[in-house]
């Protein structure tokens, strides 16, 4: 519809981009968010399959994110056991960071939890695009849905038939989960050793990771406008609004993106 790039050669060559190098979360996020989303996903001529190298890079990526999250959580005052349990069950590192950001600026527990919920909408949206492509069956769809993350959904929705969607989804998930649980285990021990996370620049890791995750959305003009509006709403409210509210109200940035889409459609 608007300003959408055609799939890059690496995607249409039948191999997942990770085959040529480390996986590009920003890039594989594309299919779930491309034109016509979420009712129709982009079909590449040959669906990407996860090679062994992709599997390893996926695991390493999530390993490093897991380590970082644990170190930052423990540095922020969580006990190692608590931090480990939180990252094992919550299944949304973004929510944990939103929670930390709100608590750090003096917000109440419930304000922080609310911010975590708003941020977790992203996963609900990913489940929306994944679910109809899976084989029928409540349990298998439910099991896949609770494991929906950006990279595994992006790989899965490109597969040509429900069986391959399910197979590639779980293969990608396995790579992520092995890396993630190894990462949070190691990070839980390192959290006690490393001490000051700032000295290692670890406090800059998650903002950068999140930017990469929404990178392709920001390449679309409506996505960029929404992102800038959301960031601006947050920035404007931060100095005086109760902690948590800036993140929650940033959702309103979507209105700016929608307004842009409408005017774009009208003008062309």
Stretch that binds another protein, among 154-162, 174-182, 186-194, 218-226 (CB under 8 A): 218-226
Range 139-178, binding another protein (CB under 8 A): 141-142, 144-146, 148
Q: Give the residue with the Cβ less far from another protein, 174 or 213.
A: 213
How far, in Å, CA of 215 to CA of 223, rounded?
9
Range 98-117, binding another protein (CB under 8 A): 98-99, 101-102, 104-106, 109, 112-113, 115-117
Pick one of 14, 192, 195, 238: the residue that binds another protein (CB under 8 A).
238
Smallest separation, CB 255 to another protein (Å): 8
Pick one of 41, 47, 126, 165: the residue that binds another protein (CB under 8 A).
126
Pick one of 9, 199, 266, 268: the residue that binds another protein (CB under 8 A).
199
242 binds another protein (CB under 8 A): no
Smallest separation, CB 47 to another protein (Å): 21
91 binds another protein (CB under 8 A): yes
What does the H/E/C string look like for 126-166? Answer: HHHHHHHHCCCCHHHHHHHHHCCCHHHHHHHCCCCCHHHHH
Site size toward another protein (CB under 8 A) is 109
């Amino acid at each position: 519809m608007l300003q959408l790039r055609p799939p890059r050669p690496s995607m249409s060559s039948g191999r997942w981009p990770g085959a040529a190098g480390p996986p590009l979360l920003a890039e594989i996020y594309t299919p779930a968010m491309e034109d016509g989303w979420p009712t129709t996903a982009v079909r590449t001529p040959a669906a990407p399959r996860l090679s062994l190298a992709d599997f390893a890079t996926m695991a390493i990526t999530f390993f490093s994110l897991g380590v970082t999250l644990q170190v930052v959580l423990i540095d922020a005052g969580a006990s190692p056991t608590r931090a480990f349990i939180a990252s094992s069950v919550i299944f949304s590192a973004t929510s944990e960071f939103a929670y930390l950001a709100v608590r750090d600026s003096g917000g109440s527990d419930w304000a922080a939890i609310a911010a975590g919920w708003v941020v977790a909408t992203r996963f609900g949206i990913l489940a929306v695009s994944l679910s109809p492509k899976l084989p029928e069956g409540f349990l298998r769809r439910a099991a896949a849905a609770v494991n929906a993350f950006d990279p595994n959904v992006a790989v899965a929705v490109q597969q040509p038939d429900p069986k391959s969607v399910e197979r590639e989804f779980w293969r990608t998930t396995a790579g992520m989960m092995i890396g993630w649980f190894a990462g949070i285990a190691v990070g839980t021990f390192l959290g006690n050793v490393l001490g000051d996370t700032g000295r290692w620049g670890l406090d800059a890791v998650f903002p950068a990771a999140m930017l990469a995750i929404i990178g392709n959305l920001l390449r679309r003009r409506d996505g960029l406008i929404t992102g800038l509006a959301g960031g601006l709403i947050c920035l404007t409210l931060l100095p005086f609004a109760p902690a948590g509210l800036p993140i929650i109200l940033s959702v309103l940035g979507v209105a700016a993106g929608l307004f842009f889409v409408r005017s774009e459609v009208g003008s062309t």
